[in-house]
Chain A
Amino acid sequence: MNVLIIDPDDARAALVAEGLRLDESLTGAQIHHWPRFELARLSDINPDMVIIACESPDRDTLDALQIAHEQAPRPVAMFVDRSDANTTAQALEAGVAAYVVDGYSPNRVASILAVAAHRFNLMQTLRHDLTKAKADLAARKTIDRAKGVLMTSRGISEEEAYRLMRKHAMDSGRPIAAIAEDILSISDLLKKRDD
């Protein structure tokens, strides 16, 4: 069996592919990845199933193949099994849709779709964690710089400077990183220009 993954996001596509390889029901399957859909190359792969990221602009092209048979090597239809609306809804929410050749086993499709949806969610969580880690790191740098400003301008220790900022943060109900940013922007204003 052949599975084609269409996703402009390489990392996410790799994650989905890995998930499918781990799926026992798919042993021996050929898994391909294209960043975008190319009608002319479809016959090279002749997929039994196409998994596509919902935000891909190419989805309508793929969707149209179920009508324009003569252009496609095989008819493709979106998998919509009403008895399993839940899986389809979850997949759509995660941002993935699947198209299968008519007559392909709905049970198998549901399990593949579930794997893809899970992987899409996983990727989203990873991205979110990474963004948060980056933001945390940036905040720590800002706080350190603000501490330095306080230490020089008021002649206090590092510990005192931090305590001062933390107290201000608690009193004003704002994150300490925001207080640090305020200190830095004000200190820039107060700086004498060299020229």
Chain B
Amino acid sequence: MQPDATTVNPVSAERLRTLLRDDDGRDAAPTAELRRLRREENDRPIVYVGAGTCGLGAGAGKVLAAVRAHLAAGGVDAEVVETGCIGLCSEEPLLEVQLPGRARAVFGRVKPADVPGLLDAMLAGTVPTAHYLGQHGPQALRRWEGLAALADHPFFAGQTRWVLRNCGLIDPGSLEEALACGGYRGLVKALRTLTPAEVCAEVERSGLRGRGGGGFPTGRKWTFALNTPAEQRYMICNADEGDPGAFMDRAVIEGDPHRVLEGLALAAYAVGATKAYIYIRAEYPLAIRRLREAIAQAEACGLLGDDILESGFDLKVTIKKGAGAFVCGEETALIHSIEGRRGMPRPRPPFPAVSGLFGKPSVINNVETLANVPQIVERGADWFSSLGTAGSKGTKVFALSGKVARTGLVEVAMGTSVREIVFGAGGGIPGGKAYKAVQIGGPSGGCIPGQHLDILVDYESLKTVGAMMGSGGLVVMDEDTCMVDVARFFMDFIQRESCGKCIPCREGTKHLRDMLDAIVRGRRHETGADALARFKGVTYLPRLAEVIRETSLCGLGMTAPNPVLSTMRWFPEEYEAHIYERRCPAKVCRDLLTFDIDTELCKGCTLCARACPAGAIVGGKKQPHLIVHEKCIACGACLEACKFDAVEVS
């Protein structure tokens, strides 16, 4: 993969005008060309492969190669399109076939070996049932009779896809297709009919709040910046997505980069910025490539650059690759990083909207926030605010992962219950296990236990249970997850990612982690003084958490104790088992586990002894084996290796 290679399909200025004019007359019948670009009409088969980072991870690259090879071998004239992720990551690699005039049939978990049979059946005009997920596509396409629709698939049924509208459906490398599907209409409308102040007002009236975590009203932030006198302002798109467990920004950029660019351009217009930065994670090479392509395409036809659409508005967009620092999600830290300094936050005020990048007014918005903007401008604030709750409007994209049957991206209306997301779209917990909690909002967020599953997704109500929206990572946990271990995981993360500028965060999180480490330490690794320190730690823990929260400089420190406080609040019995009984009920914390072999069940197959990395298992062939506890490192390799369930954990 060459992340720097960009290919531009030039869209001439004249053609751009045609495509945009076609949008004006919505009532008029779309031209044949537009129908072709919207894929409402096709004279040859189209094969789509979901080739986002997640799809490629699941093997879409090999499927793509198999598709191309099979089509070439058969001499079939078909178009092959690499799309972004449609959201259903657990069914990837996804393959779709659209025969001329027929709906798109979607197949999941396709292996390269399945491709020839699948394509042959489709090309012969029958839809194979194996791997079939559903059919979808524009209304103009004729449906396959007797086959389920993709919209009725339980994963998609409860969703309202506004931000993800085009993700996985269109070719993210084609500006023409984006234009045909409604791209840049909002920008055209704003440049031709609205003043920057009117755009700010419209977005403020819509009730859109920052989707990156803070939830600050977007329009109000823009108005601050617009009203600050300055000769230069900056617009920054935060695509760093540092939250472990969140991947919607990556998916939106990979699937629909032009929507993000349009939102960025609208925001820049609204705040009066002529320079924009996209700060994106270096670990997202595909997203960076898609953005580069999209910027080049948009610049080539005058949708970005100087005098956009002859309106006199200029915008230069620069991509800045992040260098891997969670704290750069904080606005002032991100600004320092763009300036080429350590990503350390500074006290506010002054807020970035007053004095930000290079000392100039700057607005930072998250990818998902910006992706919401084009439709707000195009369809109006009332349309947007018709969906949602009193304080939270529109939709929210969640990255659903962890111990859940269907993982992926779920976009739901604000006010949908967490239960609907986890058990509806997600399909519940696999393997007959019991639900324990869902962790929402990443390291700044908290857990939602079973008794609060019916809580509505909304900035305010999530806070009532000690969680928060955050960027929208939803990690589901089942009975095999230890909540003390989860808290320790987050503290370890925060402790490593703390920038170190302020003492409460730097030292406080380290002590919090040390306390949690002590809680999960077994007796055999402990002296008398350690035992005392362990109990002292337990008594001081809530107080320390409070101090960190109140005295830290930035959001990272202020929210750092949340995972600990939240797990302690909802799962006190697990903490008690660890502290008083030195027992891990979920059998995760290694130091507290003892492995044994049931001599009755052991057949002496020696599999466990061979799997043991510590050489802790002794016993001859066809003789019951034994674990030497002093040598055992509790890695669980024997448990995994044993075919007779003879390994016991207590």
User: Does B associate with A?
Assistant: no
Residues of A at under 8 Å CB distance from B? none
